Amino acid sequence: MSEGFVLPRSGSEANPVRLAVLVSGGGSGLAALLRYQRAQRCHRTVLVLADKVDAGGLQHGRDAGVRSIGVPLPMNLDKSERREAHERLVNAELEAAEVELVVLSGYMRILTPWFVRRWKGRLVNIHPSLLPNFPGAHAHRDALAAGASVTGCTVHLVDEGVDSGPILAQREIEVLPGDDEEALQERIKLEEHVLYPEVLDRLCSGRISL
């Protein structure tokens, strides 16, 4: 199950692991991580990258003085070539910034096997459900539709599947009577904002083994 994963080196406050945070939307998780990193940590965000030039999350990066760029899909290319060409552009930015760990934080694209293999073990995601339950883009809606009484969030390493890599940590959240998608999403995010920095501390200080 953990074949082919190469974990990041062990960082320290003096020599933190260099993170890129990839976002698609408002980036509340990114903002929480940047707040956490105001203190010296064993990881530091050196690049914020979005798949849209107007993603709200980019402003959080800029406010924190971090290089923050939109890398949109190259629409001039044929659809069949667009996805991998986009990831090659993303990868070039990661390499130019000497990134050591890629943190997906509400990045709503499924990555190709080419990209995943390049970063395997150094590519981490947060998903708003207790995986393997409710993978995909509509986790809250699916949890409510299934009548789940408990859901939550999961941090996992990314493999070639969808929301299927090794799980690093999970937190449960109770589904309350009257919850709609938005209420559930907001409660889960509060927990995500605590969990992701904690897992990054463990991952970037050699306290995770597969």
Binder of ligand GAR out of 155, 192, 195, 203 (CB under 6 A): 192
- Using the rule CB under 6 A, is 105 a contact of ligand GAR? yes
Please pick, from the candidates 5, 7, 25, 183, the single residue that binds ligand GAR as defined by CB under 6 A. 25
H or E stretch including 150? strand 150-157
Element (H, E) at 20: strand 17-23
Residue 128 interacts with ligand GAR (CB under 6 A): yes or no: yes
Q: Which residues contact 159 (CB under 8 A, 6 or more apart)?
A: 116, 120, 165, 166
Helices (H) and strands (E) in the chain, counts: 6, 7
- Dihedral of CA 117/122/155/47: which sign? negative
The residue (of 101 and 107) whose beta carbon lies closer to ligand GAR is 107
Q: What is the DSSP string of 163-182?
A: S-S-EEEEEEEEPPTT--HH
> Which residues contact residue 16 at a Cβ distance below 8 angstroms, ignoring those fewer than 6 apart?
40, 41, 42, 43, 44, 204
Point out the catalytic residue in the list 43, 60, 86, 127: 127
As a whole number of angstroms, the distance between CA 30 and CA 48 comes to 9
Q: Distance between CA atoms of 173 and 170, rounded to whole angstroms?
A: 10
Query: Applying CB under 6 A, which of residues 8, 16, 106, 121 lies at the interface with ligand GAR?
Result: 106
Among the listed ranges 66-74, 79-87, 93-101, 125-133, the one in contact with ligand GAR (CB under 6 A) is 125-133
Nearer to ligand GAR, 23 or 173 (CB): 23
Q: Is 159 helix (H, G, I), strand (E, B) or coil?
A: coil
Nearer to ligand GAR, 86 or 127 (CB): 127
Nearer to ligand GAR, 95 or 186 (CB): 186
Residues in the interface with ligand GAR (CB under 6 A) total: 17
Interface region with ligand GAR, contact rule CB under 6 A, candidates 25-33, 81-89, 90-98, 199-207: 25-33
Binds ligand GAR by CB under 6 A, chosen from 127, 131, 144, 173: 127
| Site residues (vs ligand GAR, CB under 6 A) | 23, 25-30, 57, 105-106, 126-128, 137, 139, 189, 192
